[in-house]
Amino acid sequence: MQRRELLGSLLAGGSLAAIGACTSLPSRPKAGRVIVVGGGYGGATAAKYLRLFSDQTLDVVLIEPQPAFISSPLSNRVIGGQMQLSQLTVSYDGLRHEHGVHVLRDRVTAIAVDRQVVSLASGKILHYDKLVLSPGIEPMLDTIPGLAEGQASGRILQAWSAGSETVALRRQLQAMPDGGVFVITIPESPYRCPPAPYERASLVAAYCKQFKPRSKVLVLDANQDVIAMGALFKKAWSELYAGLLEYRNHYVLTGVDAGSLTAHFDVADDVRADVLNVMAPVRAGRLAVESGLATINERWCEVDFLTFESTLAANVHIVGDSIHAAPAMPKSGFMANAHAKVAAAAIAAQLSGQSLNAEPKLANTCYSFVSQSEAIHSAAVYRYVSDAKTFKPIQGAGGVSQARSTLEAQYADAWAHNIWADMLA
């Protein structure tokens, strides 16, 4: 029997003492068990900070089907050719060995909120005192006729989340002839990481400028305008990629044809592509939707922002891109990391009978590359406003870059490595 299977069986049996013995954890009295579902920016942070904020008294189980964490932030640099996926990949061993988190490579198939148990693909059933869901997003393939077929055949990629699709999109770009048309379609806001499609377009254009200068990058946006750092992106595009990158607004995608790589729009004429990167509308991750927790516009999960507890299910806390975010709060990895810390602090307080932090604060900085060596940022600080029961940006704080710079590109790289360590080391 594998060590992981043994651990899983013990967990399923609820034998906490045996787990402690099995994994050499200190045999302290347990203040409760928290199961964290999803090992991305939100879930990994929650797992670590639940241990830190409970002074290692909470039993924390992280359930994630992937063998290692892969960062979506910075993954546009893989498409552009500056980084390899392996450089965005971090092991879960730090959570295991430095923080005593039980990391199970498994998948949650169902949640019974009334009995406080989750069912796993392996057949195990685990009880929780608190559940943290960080399920990320799921593309709504069915909303675009033809997209599911395009996705299944590998002809039309999305690459919303870093992984094999990211590498496949890189290969499509490399295989595109000089003079080809690379089309990126952008859904209406909200979606994961507001600047991500514009950063991707910039880095694809940077690649084309160097290797395929007769090509064209067409950015077809369903929104009225560039929704994040618009002036900075447009300045970079006009100064660096004039005649190569073209931005068009009000392009609402209504269908695709995978055979001819044609995109159809509600008003505008059809567009033929050599590479068609459809960033489809997204909603909360499948588990949240199937559990009936994503009820805002049937897409997002509503939470109490003081604790990030679901308004629909007691003892279920939801963090990251899947929540219906507070106004002016982007769906970002950084915000997921920040949500998770508020949730972890609230859970540690609730399970030990302490009072909640009445004034949590969140900070966010989103870096975006506009070329191979230059980046820009958008920053904000949020405070919880008890009257409105939500987070609001602090007036006078936050803002965007004065200009793109190589210094900010260095900060972007440092930010990534520091936040990965904050989550996983």
Minimum gap (Å) between residue 230 Cβ and other proteins: 18
Minimum gap (Å) between residue 68 Cβ and other proteins: 17
Please give the structure tokens belonging to residue 115: 């009995």
Minimum gap (Å) between residue 410 Cβ and other proteins: 4
Nearer to other proteins, 247 or 382 (CB): 382
Instruction: Report the interface residues with other proteins, using CB under 8 A.
Output: 48-49, 52-53, 55, 334, 337-338, 341-342, 345, 349, 354, 357, 359-365, 377, 379-383, 394, 396-399, 401-402, 405, 407-408, 410-411, 413-415, 417-419, 421-422, 425
Contact 344, 326 (CB under 8 A): no
Nearer to other proteins, 106 or 408 (CB): 408
Cα–Cα distance between 319 and 303 in angstroms, integer?
Answer: 9
Please give the structure tokens belonging to residue 310: 């679901």
Please give the structure tokens belonging to residue 126: 């685990």
Nearer to other proteins, 44 or 288 (CB): 44
Minimum gap (Å) between residue 50 Cβ and other proteins: 12
Please give the structure tokens belonging to residue 6: 């043994």
Minimum gap (Å) between residue 82 Cβ and other proteins: 16
Residue 278, exposed/middle/buried by CB under 10 A (0-12, 13-18, 19+)? buried
Nearer to other proteins, 100 or 398 (CB): 398
Minimum gap (Å) between residue 425 Cβ and other proteins: 8
Cα–Cα distance between 73 and 416 in angstroms, integer?
Answer: 8
Q: In 88-154, at which residue ranges do the beta strands (DSSP E only) sit?
A: 89-90, 102-104, 108-112, 117-120, 125-127, 130-133, 137-139
Contact 349, 214 (CB under 8 A): no
Helices 41-53 and 406-424, interaxial angle, to 10°?
Answer: 60
Nearer to other proteins, 66 or 411 (CB): 411
- In single-letter form, the type of residue at position 205 comes to A
Nearer to other proteins, 6 or 407 (CB): 407
